[in-house]
A and B are shown apart, each in its own frame.
Chain A
């Protein structure tokens, strides 16, 4: 299907490049914000200056770069620290370029271009920028393909993925219930997170499906509950275990994928 790609899906990423010619400052703000990062801005400037990437006129590009960073600042665009790091890198390269070569350096010793590292990074980055363009095209084509109609209702789609917020709601409910109970904590039981994760993992593997509510209910103290909650979050994040809710507002179960 990709090779019979209809024309309306071709997309010229480079035409969509942010242009820094804008009527109003608001427009300018949006366009400046559209750079994906300092390397993106740098590539744009190099192209704008029609410079060769293997022979970057560092002084000129640095000036241009700093101009944009200042512009971003004056327009109140939060200039990410990464843009400033790049500015510092450019200035460093620029100053290195100004220094004369060490006259005492052995002539056979290869002169290392201070720009080399930056060029390598730019080339590497540009590959991924092109890959991102390819992904963009693919997803655009893919959005024109429809599989057999999926019926998104609780009855037909038994397993709705639960989010962290769903589980947080369950947790709060149980916590509230615990608060109501008059309880005296006499012994202080310390359960470490590692132990809790281990116990939880074992339960899921043994029972295949474990209700989050039931698991939280087993906890005796608020401290244990909090540990249990963190254990659930941790296990979902690291162990390939999913939170599944059979229906909206229903019970959330932990299940191994």
Chain B
């Protein structure tokens, strides 16, 4: 087959170039698996190519960065140039989430899948409107029902959450116990 022949003839430099091209055209962060499937290469060589590419971007110190986000890879501008980019795009930072929504989101992110009564337990306040906002913004999604009295809906964070908060995956969130020290230090 053509593809197999091609695979054998790809040099590491070529593979890097192809991987870069695919990451560039992808609308969403592209996963190593997708790259491996499309290019019929094994994941290890894709991973190696990405690492090399990432290093290249860092060494070049240009306006772009290659970064891992929401389980995939993405090319984006660097934070340093946000003012100029924003000026050109004529955009403003989008509306910030309210304190209540951020708190609710924090509880959901750390406790997922979590039900509304469980969120109430921690926050000490009804979170219905915050949950609605988060659902509207697609930061959280319903994750089925909990098999308990009343079968309450459980919520968890979405892929959009990872993207909007610049996270590779949920494990990249600092452990909730780390905040204990921060909270304690405020006393």
Q: Which residues of A contact B (CB under 8 A)?
A: 1-2, 4-6, 9, 14, 34, 36-40, 47, 52-53, 80-83, 86, 121, 123-136, 138-148, 150, 237-238
In the complex, what residues of B have CB within 8 A of residue A47's CB? 186
In the docked arrangement, what's the CA distance between A81 and B120, Å?
12
CB distance from B177 to the nearest CB of A (A): 8
* Inter-subunit contact B125/A82 (CB<8 Å): yes
Q: Mark B95-136, 1 if CB is under 8 A from A, else 0.
A: 011011011011101100000000010111110000000000
* Chain A binding surface SS class: helix
Q: Say yes or no: B183 contacts A238, CB within 8 Å.
A: no
A142 and B100 contact, CB distance less than 8 A: no
A147 and B180 contact, Cβ closer than 8 Å, known pairs A36-B125, A132-B103: no
B110:A238 contact, CB within 8 angstroms: no
Q: Please, how many angstroms separate the alpha-carbon atoms of A58 and B78 in the complex?
A: 50
In the docked arrangement, what's the CA distance between A130 and B185, Å?
A: 12
Which residues of chain B come closer than 8 Å to A135, judged between CB atoms? 102, 105-106, 109, 165
Q: When the two chains form the complex, which single residue of A2, A34, A147 contacts B74, counting CB atoms closer than 8 Å?
A: A147
Cβ-based interface call for B13 (8 A):
no
B180 CB contacts on chain A under 8 angstroms: 123, 127
Question: What are 17 A-B contacts defined by CB distance under 8 Å?
Answer: A4-B79, A5-B79, A34-B99, A39-B124, A52-B187, A82-B125, A82-B126, A83-B125, A127-B176, A127-B179, A132-B103, A136-B96, A138-B165, A139-B97, A139-B164, A143-B94, A148-B24
Which residues of A are found within 8 Å of B27, using beta-carbon distances? Answer: 150
Decide if B34 is an interface residue (CB 8 Å cutoff): no
Interchain CB contact under 8 A, A123 and B125: no
A128 and B100 contacting across the interface, CB-CB below 8 Å: no
Chain A residues with CB under 8 Å of B164's CB are 139, 142
Q: Take A1-B67, A39-B125, A145-B166 as given contacts and tell me if A129 and B75 are in contact as well, using a CB distance cutoff of 8 Å.
A: no
Does B82 have its Cβ within 8 Å of any Cβ on chain A? yes
* Residues of B close to A125: CB separation below 8 A: 122-124
B183 to A38, Cβ gap below 8 A?
no
- B12 close to A (CB within 8 Å): no
- CB–CB B124/A142 < 8 A: no
Expressed in whole angstroms, the minimum distance between the Cβ of A217 and any Cβ of chain B is 28
Name 20 extra pairs, CB < 8 A, besides A1-B166, A131-B110. Answer: A2-B166, A4-B79, A36-B125, A37-B100, A39-B124, A40-B99, A53-B187, A81-B126, A82-B120, A83-B125, A121-B124, A125-B122, A125-B123, A127-B177, A128-B110, A128-B176, A135-B102, A136-B97, A141-B79, A150-B27
